[in-house]
């Protein structure tokens, strides 16, 4: 059996079209465009690529993109001052500080400065708290994108056994929380988990967010399970060029799984689409304009 492919690229494209429609309605009602500000400190090449594609996607969705580039030797005070300026700017609905920050800058201190109601990455401790007690806030983009793919594929997740491999604050933990809220029975696995293959084998849903190339093998997977591969790992291909692989050994897993996300083209495209969604939701909330957030 070969698993169905979960096409995150197509799903993200559909989501972006919906966002563009709602962004147009927002502009008509609020008399201004929704605005997403991105702050990039330093010259990290991968971060530059991410920031550029976020900016392009924001504009394509009919929203304002504000980019602030600061030198790598910026002080924490200067960065915090910039964040405070954006907090106070009424045209800014979402603020994202591109991570990682250059050495010497305290990420937690900077993120804690972002107004939680503009924290569209969902990394502020207030938003982590809101998620854990079931209050409305912002949920980190990657796990929310994974949940959307799962619901699209499986519908109701009630009673499903889910295993999340990885317990980071930005992927694993919020993913486990979202699955719990969706009434799945959730196990969080990590580097100290005993008998990981056996733990994974119980799961109807596997979310791998580990950062280890092709670690999860096909014979760990329960036949028919749905596999969401969050991993993005650059490895040397046989042709000598680097290629992207996930945390799941795609070739063996697709023989067993019921459905699986490819890498690239699975979870990756969802992250930016959900970022735009969160920024637009923020704009509607800040202007007190009604929006069915579940429709987005």
**Binding positions for ligand NDP, rule: CB under 6 A:** 142, 165-168, 170-172, 189-193, 196, 209-212, 230-233, 267-268, 271
Residue for token digits 């400190």? 41
Q: Which residues are paired to 162 by β-bridges? A: 186, 205
Nearer to ligand NDP, 48 or 87 (CB): 48
Rounded (10°) CA dihedral 181, 186, 187, 191: -50
Question: Considering the complex, what minimum distance in angstroms separates the CB of residue 228 from ligand NDP?
Answer: 10
Structure tokens of 60? 């394509």
Task: Give least dist CB 95 to ligand NDP, A.
Answer: 18
Show which residues are catalytic.
54, 98, 121
Q: How far apart are CA 171 and CA 189, in angstroms?
A: 13
Which residues are within 8 A (CB) of 261 and not within 5 positions of it... i.e. 6 or more apart? 5, 6, 8, 149, 227, 228, 229, 246, 267
CB of 57 to ligand NDP, least distance (A): 13
CB of 33 to ligand NDP, least distance (A): 25
Nearer to ligand NDP, 73 or 198 (CB): 198
CB nearer to ligand NDP: give 84 or 243.
Answer: 243
Nearer to ligand NDP, 83 or 263 (CB): 263
Q: Which of 229, 239, 237 is nearest to 262 (CA)?
A: 229
């Amino acid at each position: 059996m070969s698993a169905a492919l979960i096409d995150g690229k197509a799903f993200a494209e559909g989501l972006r079209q919906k966002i563009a429609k709602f962004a147009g309605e927002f502009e008509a009602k609020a008399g201004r465009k929704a605005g997403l500000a991105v702050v990039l400190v330093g010259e990290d090449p991968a971060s530059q690529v991410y920031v550029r594609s976020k900016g392009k996607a924001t504009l394509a969705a009919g929203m304002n993109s504000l980019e602030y580039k600061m030198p790598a030797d910026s002080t924490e005070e200067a960065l915090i001052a910039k964040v405070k300026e954006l907090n106070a700017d009424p045209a800014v609905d979402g603020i994202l500080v591109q991570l990682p920050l250059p050495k010497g800058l305290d990420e937690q201190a900077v993120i804690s400065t972002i107004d939680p109601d503009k924290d569209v990455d969902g990394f502020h401790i207030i938003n982590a708290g809101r998620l854990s007690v079931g209050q409305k806030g912002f949920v980190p983009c990657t796990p929310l994108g994974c949940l959307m793919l799962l619901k699209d594929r499986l519908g109701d997740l009630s009673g499903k056994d889910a295993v999340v491999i990885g317990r980071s604050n930005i992927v694993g933990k919020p993913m486990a929380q979202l699955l719990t809220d969706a009434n799945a029975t959730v196990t969080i696995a990590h580097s100290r988990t005993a008998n990981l293959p056996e733990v994974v084998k119980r799961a109807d849903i596997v979310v791998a967010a580990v950062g280890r190339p092709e670690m999860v093998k096909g014979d760990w997977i329960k036949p028919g399970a749905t596999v969401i591969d969050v991993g993005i790992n650059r490895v040397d291909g046989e042709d000598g060029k680097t290629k992207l692989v996930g945390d799941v050994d795609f070739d063996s897993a697709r023989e067993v799984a019921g459905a699986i996300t490819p890498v690239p083209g699975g979870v990756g495209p969802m992250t930016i689409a959900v970022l735009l969604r969160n920024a637009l939701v923020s704009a509607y909330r800040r202007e007190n304009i009604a929006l069915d957030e579940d429709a987005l």
